[in-house]
Amino acid sequence: MRLLPSLCLLLAAGSRAAQTLFQSPDDGWQVYTSAQAPDGKCLCTAVIPVQGTCSRDLRSRQLRQLMEKVQNVSQSMEVLDLRTYRDLQYVRHTESLMKGLDSRLKVATESQKSLNTKSFQELKDKMTELLPLIPVLDQYKADTKMIVQLKDEVRNVSGSLLAIQEEMGAYDYEELQRRVLVLEARLHACMQKLGCGKLTGVSNPITIRASGSRFGSWMTDTMAPSADSRVWYMDGYYKGRRVLEFRTLNDFITGQNFVQHLLPHPWAGTGHVVFNGSLYYNKYQSNIVVKYHFRSRSVLVQRSLNGAGYNNTFPYSWGGFSDIDFMVDENGLWAVYTTNQNAGNIVVSKVDPQTLEILRSWDTGYPKRSAGESFMICGTLYVTNSHLAGAKVYFAYYTNTSSYEYTDIPFHNQYSHISMLDYNPRERVLYTWNNGHQVVYNVTLFHVIKTSGEL
């Protein structure tokens, strides 16, 4: 089947490949809407799951039900076996009594004169001893009925298994499942290679951990390979020097397996990022930006961000020495700050990650003190109108066209005080520090994909 020459997809960018960290277990391949644009392009809304499974497949449900029936039959057979063994022991015990009673009845029948009062009482006693055999025989009758029912169950299970086996054989189910997995892998790989998109939605929050003070930051390395899931944790917003490096996300959640880095210079604010093995941060009480390399535990470069406000001169609305905010997106390293020359409006600067030199700057025209937080996606700065409950992504500035627009993208501020908000292009999620909680949000981006070829 030929693909359309131009296919337009709206993809939930937070839904990543199989190694994603923040995926709902109930997500599956879903197409929410589809329509045709005036130019003939196909418009779809789709969500990619963590991994493809056949858990919802009808045959899988039938097999699970059959397995439950087989288990029930097996348990019933065990009960019958134990009960039959117990009753058989009793029957063997009464066998000698029955033989003795039979011989005495023969004698009494052949010679009724020998049947005196004593002999009659002995016969009566032997019969009394055999009375408990009656309920045992009744139980045997009930067990016989159960065995008949179990035989019917086994017959039904066998028939159902045969039908499923024939259906699987007819459609080569294993081959179909293999092709589905291959297709999902191709689609996941396609998503990872998608070009930049426009933010259209933010998911509900996913709380990863509750730890630390009201303010802080946490992050992963946006340039690390997918197998590297280290997490860095920096509690507090000023004069801090201790950075914790957790080996994996699970270690971060449990608070185990971490090493400590002691920075040579204290930090200011929460706008730090880890990029290609180094931490970028603002030095306390200065507009100096620092690049600290974790492996060598040394400062590789530091440079003054000329004209940038610091020490709560131009912070976000929540304060916290948040004058200078580093960010990373698909295009590289950025710095967001404000200068007196720009009259307190947000300035976006592209930064050389090796030298910390400013490559180019844009004046967004948006007052920084009116912004709750901001983040970069695909060269676009998105600004929230508050750090408190009810916040929205209110403003977008496009560096590729040097233009802006006002937006209305709500997101749920669950713990009512966001002091750090950063986009991770590797995982395509937003990292936040929200009132002592480490939280992530999936994002929905609008992509235009041009492709052709055979399925």
pLDDT (tens digit, 9 = 90+) per residue, 337-392? 999 999 999 999 999 999 999 999 999 999 999 999 999 999 999 999 888 888 89
If we measure between CA atoms, which residue out of 248, 296, 287, 245 comes closest to residue 268?
287
pLDDT computed for residue 353 by the predictor: 97
The partner residues of 363 in beta bridges, in order of sequence, read 347
Strands (E), 320-436: 325-329, 332-337, 345-351, 358-367, 374-377, 380-384, 392-398, 403-410, 418-424, 429-434
What Cα–Cα distance (Å) separates residue 288 from each residue in 115, 265, 298?
122, 10, 16
316-349 pLDDT, tens digit per residue, is: 999 999 999 999 999 999 999 999 999 999 999 9
Residues 6+ apart with CB under 8 A from 85: none
Mean pLDDT across 64-72: 71
Whole-angstrom distance between the N-terminal and C-terminal Cα of the chain? 6
Of 48-52, 259-263, 359-363, least confident by mean pLDDT is 48-52
pLDDT computed for residue 381 by the predictor: 98
pLDDT computed for residue 220 by the predictor: 97
Whether the pLDDT of residue 4 is over 50: the answer is no
pLDDT computed for residue 178 by the predictor: 77
Q: Where are the alpha helices (DSSP H) in 361-448?
A: none
pLDDT computed for residue 51 by the predictor: 42
Mean pLDDT across 128-157: 70
Whether the pLDDT of residue 449 is over 70: the answer is no
Predicted TM-score of the model (pTM)? 0.62
Tell how strand 288-293 and strand 298-304 pair up.
antiparallel
In terms of pLDDT, which residue wins out, 115 or 320? 320
pLDDT computed for residue 171 by the predictor: 54
What Cα–Cα distance (Å) separates residue 401 from each residue in 145, 362, 398, 404?
82, 10, 6, 9
pLDDT computed for residue 59 by the predictor: 62
Whether the pLDDT of residue 13 is over 60: the answer is no
Q: What is the dihedral of CA 272, 275, 279, 284, to 10 degrees?
A: -30
Whether the pLDDT of residue 221 is over 60: the answer is yes
pLDDT computed for residue 150 by the predictor: 72
Q: For residue 146, which amino acid is it?
A: M
Q: Does residue 334 contact residue 376 with C-beta atoms inside 8 Å?
A: yes
Residue 312 φ/ψ region, left for φ over 0, alpha for ψ in the -120 to 50 degree band, beta for the rest: left
What Cα–Cα distance (Å) separates residue 254 from each residue in 98, 221, 257, 288?
71, 20, 9, 34
In terms of pLDDT, which residue wins out, 211 or 42? 211
In terms of pLDDT, which residue wins out, 172 or 450? 172
Say which residue the tokens 């235009």 belong to.
448
pLDDT computed for residue 91 by the predictor: 66
Of 171-185, 206-220, 311-325, least confident by mean pLDDT is 171-185
Residue 136 φ/ψ region, left for φ over 0, alpha for ψ in the -120 to 50 degree band, beta for the rest: alpha
Count the neighbouring beta carbons within 10 Å of the beta carbon of residue 202.
Answer: 21
pLDDT computed for residue 54 by the predictor: 45
What Cα–Cα distance (Å) separates residue 123 from each residue in 42, 113, 115, 134, 156?
96, 15, 10, 17, 50
Whether the pLDDT of residue 223 is over 80: the answer is yes
